[in-house]
């Protein structure tokens, strides 16, 4: 039976500016939801409110119909990849991984040619791309039913981007995943539902052509990228 995450009636303001107005979003396990929106539209703000680390004037967050105020405290509820790195720099990679997923499954986690080479290294010694890949895999390997990813492909090499896409699709068989990224093509490649935040509201869209209608990308840019493909 699928689990359901809902965020409802969200209102968030900064000073006199209301950034988010009556937002509603629903995600079920098995779904990958892509969120689009221009810089400053409120995507990261919505994610932080959803995770419970940012307050809002109004919000209702439900997991399987039960209301929670701080979802990050819910066991196996939700985990969040922020734009900044979250693993402590002083820890060894192996120790950081064991704290998140336990020692029983740690060997399976490192059965990965990308990260096995730095298993004994400290977090601070990793490149930006290596660390981002590690954090994404770590969150997707936890018992959380829902994973929220803010700019997961930022600073990642093309080869690792493809690995992350495959990982997200694979893990969505048992999780609900919500993500946004500045490169909309990567989001379109993995998501099976699309939404755009525009003028404080959120709207469901059917395909990438609507990204032009909502002024997220230009017609010229879409035509150029179609030519490149």
List phi, psi (to 5°) of 160.
-70, -30
pTM: 0.93
What pLDDT is recorded for position 210? 85
Domain map of the chain by residue range? 4-228
For strands 176-180 and 58-63, give the pairing.
Answer: unpaired
pLDDT, position 220: 62
- Region 113-125: mean pLDDT is 92
Q: Which DSSP symbol is given to 118?
A: G
* Fold category of 4-228 in CATH: Rossmann fold (3.40.50)
Work out the percent of the chain whose per-residue pLDDT is above 90. Answer: 79
Please give the Cα distance from 115 to 135 (Å, whole number): 11
- Is residue 33 a contact partner of residue 191, using CB atoms and an 8 Å limit? yes
- Please give the C-alpha separations between residue 194 and each of 67, 83, 132, 141, in angstroms, as whole numbers: 25, 20, 24, 24
User: DSSP E strands: which ranges in the chain?
Assistant: 4-14, 17-28, 32-36, 58-63, 66-68, 78-81, 146-150, 176-180, 193-198, 201-205
* pLDDT, tens digit (0-9, with 9 covering 90-100), for 146-205: 999 999 999 899 999 999 999 999 999 999 999 999 999 999 999 999 999 999 999 999
């Amino acid at each position: 039976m699928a689990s359901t995450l809902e965020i409802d009636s969200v209102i968030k303001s900064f000073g006199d500016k209301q950034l988010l107005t009556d937002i509603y979003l629903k995600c079920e396990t098995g779904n990958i939801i892509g969120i689009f929106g221009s810089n400053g539209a409120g995507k990261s703000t919505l994610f932080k409110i959803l995770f419970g680390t940012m307050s809002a004037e109004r919000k209702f967050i439900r997991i399987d119909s039960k209301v929670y105020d701080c979802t990050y405290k819910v066991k196996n509820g939700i985990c969040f990849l922020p734009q900044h790195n979250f693993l402590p720099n002083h820890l060894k990679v192996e120790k950081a991984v064991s704290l998140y997923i336990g020692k029983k499954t740690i060997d399976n986690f490192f059965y990965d040619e990308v990260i096995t080479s730095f298993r004994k290294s400290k977090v601070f010694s990793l490149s930006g791309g290596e660390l981002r890949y590690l954090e994404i895999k770590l969150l997707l390997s936890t018992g959380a039913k829902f994973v929220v990813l803010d700019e997961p492909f930022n600073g990642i090499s093309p080869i690792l981007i493809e690995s992350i896409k495959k990982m997200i699709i694979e893990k969505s068989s048992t999780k609900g995943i919500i993500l946004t990224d500045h490169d909309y093509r990567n989001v379109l490649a993995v998501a099976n539902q699309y939404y755009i935040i525009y003028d404080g509201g959120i709207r469901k869209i059917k395909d990438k052509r609507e990204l032009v209608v909502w002024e997220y990308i230009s017609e010229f840019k879409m035509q150029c990228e179609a030519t490149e493909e």
